[in-house]
């Protein structure tokens, strides 16, 4: 007589699966990739075109397929910066020689393919809400005190290996590319003191709903980016740019499960991403828009 097969569990036994089964809300933190979208003047824009259309060729059974050609830079749309993205006096993070590292058309160190997937605690600091507004003023410089104030209001403090997301409300400008990029008017973002405040807490990455995460003063464009130097070169902290934090903020989320995985572009300096914030049932306190 053959022994009966072992019973197969019909419910989740892993704690994470159990939590998911109890109910979760997933917030998509990425902006859409489409022709004409806002793009930093430092990078090539996004282009997509149908290379093959339905009807261009039909199989014997009547079926057909369509596909597209995509041309984009690694720092276009919602994306994450590798540590090879910025240098200072010819050196990358850890003292690596930038010129020597970029031979052969790609980086031998600190490429985006070396950045592991992030499945960790995420923290949202809503600086715009802390200022009692939906959107910070163009060119506003977020200070360490601003972040501390937003953290106190949220009741959560960024910690070791967290990803900290900073909301300025600037994603509301997304559909006006000129205003969003802010070449003349400026863009709100982190100052060097704010960047150091977060790096001192050991965060692995900092994201924001702007084109550079850092402050772009009016009339200065993207000529000088000191926060990129501070975080990518001096402190080894990744930057996530062009995020959409509106629904997450509206849900009143202060901490959540954060999920992000860069494309494995060997030796690349950045990668498009689609970051997610996962909230368990009952998490967050919805707030009214001002």
> 123 - beta bridge partners?
164, 255
Q: Which pLDDT score is estimated for 289?
A: 46
Residues of the chain falling short of pLDDT 70: 1-2, 7-12, 221-222, 282, 284-285, 287-290
Q: Which pLDDT score is estimated for 12?
A: 64
Give the pLDDT confidence of 50-107 residue by residue, as tens digits.
Answer: 999 999 999 999 999 999 999 999 999 999 999 999 999 999 999 999 999 998 999 9
Separation CA 168–CA 173 (nearest Å): 11
How many Å separate Cα 270 from the centre of its chain? Answer: 11
Separation CA 216–CA 225 (nearest Å): 8
Separation CA 211–CA 125 (nearest Å): 17
Give the pLDDT confidence of 63-77 residue by residue, as tens digits.
Answer: 999 999 999 999 999
CA angle 42, 162, 274 (to 5 degrees): 50
User: For the chain, how many helices (H) and strands (E)?
Assistant: 8, 13
Q: Which pLDDT score is estimated for 290?
A: 42
Signed CA dihedral, 201, 194, 260, 233: sign only: negative
Which residue reads 């036994």 in tokens? Answer: 13
Separation CA 59–CA 230 (nearest Å): 56
Query: Which residues have C-beta within 8 Å of that of residue 248, sequence separation ≥ 6?
Result: 27, 29, 124, 165, 167, 256, 277
Separation CA 255–CA 124 (nearest Å): 6
Assign 10 to helix, strand or coil: coil
Q: Which pLDDT score is estimated for 210?
A: 97
Residue 214 phi/psi, 5-degree rounding, is -90, 165
Separation CA 184–CA 166 (nearest Å): 23
Average pLDDT, the chain: 93
Separation CA 156–CA 133 (nearest Å): 20
């Amino acid at each position: 007589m053959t022994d009966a097969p072992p019973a197969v569990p019909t419910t989740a036994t892993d704690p994470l699966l159990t939590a998911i089964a109890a109910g979760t809300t997933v917030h998509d933190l990425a902006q859409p990739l489409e022709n004409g979208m806002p793009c930093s003047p430092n990078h090539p824009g996004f282009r997509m075109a149908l290379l093959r259309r339905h009807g261009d060729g039909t199989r014997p059974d009547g079926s057909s397929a369509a596909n597209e050609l995509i041309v984009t830079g690694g720092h276009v749309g919602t994306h994450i910066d590798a540590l090879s993205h910025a240098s200072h006096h010819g050196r990358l993070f850890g003292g690596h020689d930038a010129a020597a590292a970029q031979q052969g058309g790609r980086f031998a160190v600190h490429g985006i393919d070396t950045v592991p997937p992030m499945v960790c605690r995420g923290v949202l600091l809503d600086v715009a809400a802390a200022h009692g507004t939906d959107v910070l003023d163009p060119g506003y410089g977020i200070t360490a005190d601003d972040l501390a104030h937003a953290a106190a209001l949220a009741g959560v403090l960024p910690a070791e290996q967290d990803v900290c997301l900073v909301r300025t409300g600037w994603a509301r400008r997304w559909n006006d590319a000129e205003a969003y990029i802010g070449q003349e008017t400026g863009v709100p973002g982190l100052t060097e003191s704010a960047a150091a405040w977060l790096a001192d807490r050991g965060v692995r990455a900092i994201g924001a709903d702007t084109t550079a995460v850092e402050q772009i003063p009016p009339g200065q464009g993207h000529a000088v980016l000191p926060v990129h130097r501070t975080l990518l070169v001096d402190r080894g902290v990744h930057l996530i740019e062009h995020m959409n934090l509106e629904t997450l903020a509206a849900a009143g989320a202060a901490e959540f499960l954060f999920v992000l995985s860069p494309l494995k572009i060997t030796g690349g300096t950045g990668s498009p991403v689609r970051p997610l914030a996962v909230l368990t049932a009952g998490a967050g306190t919805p707030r009214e828009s001002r």
